[in-house]
Structure formats: structure tokens, C-alpha cells
Amino acid sequence: MSPSPSSLSPRRVAIVGATGAVGREMVNVLHQRGFPVAELALFASERSAGRVLETPFGEKTLVAFDADVVKGYDIVLLAVSGEFAKQHAPTLASAGAIVIDNSSAFRYDPEIPLIVPEINADALGSSKLIANPNCTTAILVLALGPLHRAFGLKRVIVSTYQATSGAGAEGMAELEEQTRNQLAGRPVTNSVFRHPIPFNVIPQIDAFQENGYTKEEMKVTWESRKILGIPDLLASCTAVRIPTYRAHSESVTVETIRPVTAEAARAVLAEAAGVKLTDDPANGVYPMPLNATGEYDVEVGRIRANPVFGDNGLDFFVCGDQLLKGAALNAVQIAELTL
Amino acid sequence: MSPSPSSLSPRRVAIVGATGAVGREMVNVLHQRGFPVAELALFASERSAGRVLETPFGEKTLVAFDADVVKGYDIVLLAVSGEFAKQHAPTLASAGAIVIDNSSAFRYDPEIPLIVPEINADALGSSKLIANPNCTTAILVLALGPLHRAFGLKRVIVSTYQATSGAGAEGMAELEEQTRNQLAGRPVTNSVFRHPIPFNVIPQIDAFQENGYTKEEMKVTWESRKILGIPDLLASCTAVRIPTYRAHSESVTVETIRPVTAEAARAVLAEAAGVKLTDDPANGVYPMPLNATGEYDVEVGRIRANPVFGDNGLDFFVCGDQLLKGAALNAVQIAELTL
């Protein structure tokens, strides 16, 4: 047994980007999990500086980001853009802080660990800078990792049902406000999303690449390979935005190297860390945003053998909170690993 | 050139189940396409009989279903339950009427043609009873058929984003009403769907089978094989209800027998009957319910080579109106074939 976080010497923790949807959840998760916080500082843009936030740690005044101040903290959680992370994360880490970055800036750097603690905690090493994966990937690999150990993964085909929280608090607000507009017969507009989101489906998340896939889709391939330690994994994704708030769903088909059955896969996933087996379809029990929202564990269900790959095919459906396992929870779990 | 419908001798047409979402669209589509209607009669349950409907053919009084009356019509469009169809369709057809049934009752009977006119009009034969396919399948095969002719299909893996109209007018009404409730902070309930639908994802449509797939999912496999004429096609589906109104989206991955490229697939689909190539991602053009709703053609886009299957993999996204190509339009197109 590893010691519980609270028995360890407390750390001075900084959250940069504390006003965003992910930053706010980071504060909540640190508190809920009893992370040993000696001091918590919340950094934001100049614009937000001076605002007071109610947090489980009491009232906190937002401070304008200053690298010279932030680098003095033991642990720095970055919930900022990739550009901002690229500019500041290496400096903060070389000054001695442990920096956990939620952006994609360093995820593909072979020197930087990309960690989902349940799956590849052993890859942490001694790097001071650690990358937190893409939300869709973090949720997905909780199921893929144990299945790979048990059966070997050859091919992975994913279609996603991604919530508006992936575009931050503004994304969720646009969903709510524009849905109200549509129901009231008022004009529906869009600024966060490329098209109106109410009662619609948008098969684009992030920018398109040369190969026709979006960056979001390629992240799932690239990051799954790195986290699972399968550099040649055949994986593809279709990433789709739908009108939900903050839990991502994913429809997954895998071809395994060794034969697999639904029963054997279910037994593996029932024991998997971070997974809540949610698979009693006869009673209407399967993963859904309605239940997965606000939960740490990722729901996995609809597990069934897929004969498209003979005895080596498996289908399942996962649903996880995009702001928790998809972002803030995983970042705090990484911080716990460094204690 | 085949003669335009309106140049042919008019037919006496009966719609049974005329008050439902599909039945109402059948009336509209008959009119929009200039189907040669000599007389249109709308049949419904005892409960609805006597009600007057405004239609493009003028005011129509709903008549209680009476097999002895209905069998006298030239063409009978059934928008009723499978049970009702099983009970009445064979009698109506043996009396001489051409019966086009929208239920699943006869789709798997080898003696009954299952028709999507753009794909397998030649399978019509001389049967008086003709089955109209499942909505998801009808939309899907418009893309699969041409791709099969060009490249050969080996495997098809589909994940769906299905609209509430699949559960009829009541499904759409439940989405709207319960979304209003949720936004107003009132309790959200469900009666049409097994779980609340607003801002949720429900990975169940129809009942579960022994193999863990739902009947809806198996319909896509069974019906695609029959319509495409590939009895051994390896096909699987994950059917998911999402909070949209009346256009189904589908994320599709195929493995082809002969090598395929995105460019070659795009060229094939650009010429495909019933397909609107909707594939200019750089300009934000791809299939979406927002645009596909109310349209006859099925949008196909996000076409890209999927390296998971080497040189033989292809991904694409389709979106089609569930009540039109998924039901009423296809039924009327079948009726046109019989002229």
C-alpha cells in the first residue's frame, strides 16, 4: 500500500488558469482527494487578477501570472493553452517545480512522460515536466490498458460523442444559452463552436490535418500509443461534438491479438483501476453522461464480442467526465504520484 | 430515361398509420414528388378516426383501418407496428394491392424484397409485398452500395448518432419538452425513452439480443447484407440515441477488398444517387443534422483513408433525415418503382 497523500509532507501548489472549467475542477479535486496542500495559489490572466473565488480551501484571490513567483511552488498545475505552456513550462520545471501540463504542447516529446496513473505510472521517471493527456484518450486508455495486458491490442477504432466542456466553460455556456434560444424561437448563433450546437452534431473537433483527420482525432492515436507503450498500434478515431455538457462517450471496437470473449473482457474490466463496470443492459445499465458526470471513475459497458474480427473482436462503450478523468482528476493523480 | 411519375396512370393510394411522424411525411413526399395520386386515403386507429388533417392534397378525414376497404387500393403504404403489419400485410397483398411496409416484420423473409431503390431496384421482382428498410440502414447503404461496387466491402463498422424521431413524433416531443424542463430547473422525466434524453446519450435502441447487440444494431448488419447482396459481409453497429430531432448521423469505417483512397472514394460518392457529397472540411463543410434535416439526399463527408486497414481502410460520416430517406421517402421511391 502506498501512503495516503495526507500522511505526506504538504506541498505548495499553484494552479495556472484557475478560472477555466479545468482549473476550477483542479481546486475541487485537490480538496476532495485530501491532497497535502500547504498553500494553494490561483493564477490567472491580468484581466481576472484581484477577483475572489470561493473554493473548498476558503476564499482565494486570483493573482496575475508571474513566472518568477510561480516557479517557487512545489507543484504547478497548468490549465492553459499549448502556446502558453510552451513558453513557460520548461522554465518553471528547470527552476525546480514539478509542472503538470494539461495542454498538448509536450505530449509527443519523447523526453516528457505522458501519464495516466492507472496505466503507465512506471513511465513517470524523474522528469519535472509531465504531460496530462487529451481528455478522450485518458478516458479511453483506462479500458484499453487492461484489455491490452489481457488480450493484446492489434486494432482500435473509436467514434466519440464529445461534450461541450471540451471547449471549456464557454462551450457549456454556449450549449445552454443557444438551446434556450432555439426553444424560444429566437435566432441561434455560435461563437465557441464552428456551427450551432443545439440539437446538432458537429463532426469536427480542432483543426484538420493533411490526412483528413482532425488534430483531436490524431491525438487519440498518438497518445494511446505512447501511454499504452504500443508504438505500432493501429488506431483511428472519429471525433464528434454533440449537445451534452461535460461527459464524453466513446464507441470502441478493438481487434485483439489473442482470442477474446465478452465474458473474459468483462472480468478484466471489473478489476480495472479507475473503471466502473456499467454493463447490465437487460436492466438498462450502460455508460451514459447522465450518470458519469461528476464521477471519478470511467463507466465501461455494452461489452460484447464483435464477430467482424472473428474470435478476436470486441465492442464496448465508455463514458467519463471530461473535466475529471479527462483533465483535472488525472492531473491531480499525477501530482499524487510525485509525492 | 424512365417516365416521370406524373405521366403515368394515377393510382389510388392508402396510407395506414397516417397520424404518425412517418405517415405524415409520406403524404408530404407523395405530393412533393408529384406521385400520380388518383385518390389518397388516410387510415389510422379507431381513436383518431374522424379527425381532419390539413395536407398538401387538401383536407383529409382520417378513417378507421378496415382491411376490406384498404385492400381495394392500388398502393398501400404501411407506417404501423411490426405486429400490425404481420397481421394485415399479406392479406392486403394477396388481394392485389401493392403493399410497402415500413416495419421490420418482413425484412428478413427471403421471399420479400427489401429495397433501397438507388441500390437494389433490380431485386424488386413481382412481389406485391415489399419491405422498407430500417432508417439507419437505408441512410448507410446509399454510401456503402457505390463503395462496394467500386472497391468491394469486406468489413463495415458503424457507430450511430440517432435522432429522437426514430421513436416517432412522441420521441421528438419528449426531447423538446424535457429539455425545456431541464433548462427551467424542473424535474426531467422519461416515458418514450428508457432514460432522460436531454443533454444525454443512450447507447440502447430497441431490445437486447443474446449476443449483446440490440435488435437495432443487428438490423443494420442483416439488412445491409440483404440490400447489398453480400450475405457474408462482416458488419457491426453500435446504435446510440442522442438529443437531436430527426436526422441520423453515422460514423463509418470500412475495410475494402481492393485498395481505396480518399480521392477515389470521393469520386465514387460524388456520382452516387441519393448522396450529397458534403466534404469540404477546410471550410467547415461536412454532414450535420442542421443541414440534412428536411433533405432527401443523404450527406456524406469526412472521407479519409484509414491506415488501420493498410491501403484498404476508409472512414466517412453520413447524415440523413430519418423520416425521409430513413422512412417515408424510401417508401414512396419504392412505390414509384412499381408504377
For residues B196 and B287, state if they share a domain: yes
Contact between A301 and B203 using a beta-carbon 8 Å cutoff: yes
In whole angstroms, what is the distance from residue B156 CA to residue B313 CA? 10
For residues B100 and B232, state if they share a domain: no
Nearest of A336, A159, A28, A199 to residue B236 by alpha carbon: A159
For residues A59 and A13, state if they share a domain: yes
For residues B143 and B86, state if they share a domain: no
At residue A6, the pLDDT reads: 53
Mean pLDDT of A303-315: 98
- Domain limits for position A254: 137-322
Please identify among residues 91-150 of chain B the ones whose CB lies closer than 8 Å to any CB of chain A: none
**Residue A129: inside a domain:** no
**Which CATH number characterizes residue A39's domain?**
3.40.50.720
Name residues whose C-beta falls within 8 Å of residue B47's C-beta, 6 or more positions apart in sequence.
none
For residues B149 and B243, state if they share a domain: yes
At residue B8, the pLDDT reads: 75
For residues B65 and B157, state if they share a domain: no
At residue A1, the pLDDT reads: 42
Mean pLDDT of A34-41: 97
Q: What is the pLDDT of residues A246-265, one digit of tens each?
A: 999 999 999 999 999 999 99
Q: What is the pLDDT of residues A199-215, one digit of tens each?
A: 999 999 999 999 999 99
Share of chain B above pLDDT 70, in %: 98
Residue B337 pLDDT exceeds 80: yes
Binding residues of B for NADP(+): 19-22, 47-48, 165-166, 322
For residue B227, what is the enclosing H or E element?
helix B215-228
Cβ-Cβ contacts under 8 Å, B189 against chain A: none
The C-alpha angle with vertex A95 and arms to A92 and A100, in degrees rounded to 5, equals 40
For residues B287 and B229, state if they share a domain: yes
For residues B174 and B54, state if they share a domain: no
Name residues whose C-beta falls within 8 Å of residue A288's C-beta, 6 or more positions apart in sequence.
A249, A299, A319, B195, B200, B201, B202, B203
**Residue B337: inside a domain:** no
Cell numbers for A255, please give them.
481487434
Strands (E), A45-163: 52-55, 58-61, 63-64, 75-78, 98-101, 129-131, 153-161
Q: What is the pLDDT of residues B187-230, one digit of tens each?
A: 999 999 999 999 999 999 999 999 999 999 999 999 999 999 99
**Residue B243: inside a domain:** yes
In whole angstroms, what is the distance from residue B276 CA to residue B115 CA? 20
- The ipTM assigned to this model is 0.96
State the distance between the two ends of chain A, measured CA to CA, in whole angstroms: 14
Cβ-Cβ contacts under 8 Å, A201 against chain B: 161, 242, 244, 249, 288-289, 319
**Residue B88: inside a domain:** yes
Residue B1 pLDDT exceeds 50: no
Mean pLDDT of B311-334: 98
Contact between B212 and A301 using a beta-carbon 8 Å cutoff: no
Q: Are B255 and B312 in contact (CB under 8 A)?
A: yes
Cβ-Cβ contacts under 8 Å, A194 against chain B: 284
Cα atoms found within 13 Å of the Cα of residue A327, Cβ hemisphere only: 27
Q: Are A115 and A310 in contact (CB under 8 A)?
A: no
Residue B240 distance to chain A (closest CA, Å): 9
Please state the separation of Cα B338 from the chain's center in Å: 19
A316 close contact with B: CB closer than 8 A: no
B288 close contact with A: CB closer than 8 A: yes
**Residue B84: inside a domain:** yes
In whole angstroms, what is the distance from residue A115 CA to residue A100 CA? 10
Instruction: Count the domains in chain A.
Output: 2
At residue A212, the pLDDT reads: 98
In whole angstroms, what is the distance from residue B247 CA to residue B326 CA? 9
Cell numbers for A95, please give them.
527552476
**Residue B329: inside a domain:** no
Mean pLDDT of A303-331: 98
Cβ–Cβ pairs < 8 A, chains A and B = 161
Residue A101 distance to chain B (closest CA, Å): 29
Residue bearing cell 423473409 = B109
Contact between A288 and B202 using a beta-carbon 8 Å cutoff: yes
Binding residues of B for substrate: 162, 241
Find which of A251, A283, A311 to mutate to test the B interface (most B CBs within 10 Å of its CB). A251
Average of per-residue pLDDT values in chain A: 97
For residues B97 and B144, state if they share a domain: no
Nearest of B319, B298, B326 to residue B136 by alpha carbon: B326
In whole angstroms, what is the distance from residue B72 CA to residue B57 CA? 20
**Residue A97: inside a domain:** yes
Residue A3 pLDDT exceeds 60: no
For residues A94 and A182, state if they share a domain: no
Find which of B201, B210, B261, B285 to mutate to test the A interface (most A CBs within 10 Å of its CB). B201
For residues B32 and B142, state if they share a domain: no
Contact between B301 and A179 using a beta-carbon 8 Å cutoff: no
Cβ-Cβ contacts under 8 Å, A202 against chain B: 288
**Which CATH number characterizes residue A277's domain?**
3.30.360.10
At residue B111, the pLDDT reads: 96
Average of per-residue pLDDT values in chain B: 97
Contact between B289 and A236 using a beta-carbon 8 Å cutoff: no
**DSSP reduced 3-state for A251:** strand
**DSSP reduced 3-state for A46:** coil
Measuring CA to CA, how many Å separate A194 from each of A134, A174, A204? 20, 12, 9
Active site residues of B: 135, 248
B261 close contact with A: CB closer than 8 A: no
For residues B166 and B281, state if they share a domain: yes
Cα atoms found within 13 Å of the Cα of residue A206, Cβ hemisphere only: 17
Cβ-Cβ contacts under 8 Å, B175 against chain A: 199
Residue B106, classified by CB atoms within 10 Å of its CB into exposed (0-12), middle (13-18) or buried (19+), is: buried
Taking CA–CA distances from A248, the nearest residue in chain B reads B201
Measuring CA to CA, how many Å separate A44 from each of A11, A65, A79? 20, 6, 10
Residue A8 pLDDT exceeds 80: no
CB nearest to A161's CB, from B175, B183, B240:
B240
Residue B280 CB neighbour total at 10 angstroms: 10
**Residue A230: inside a domain:** yes
Contact between A304 and B194 using a beta-carbon 8 Å cutoff: no
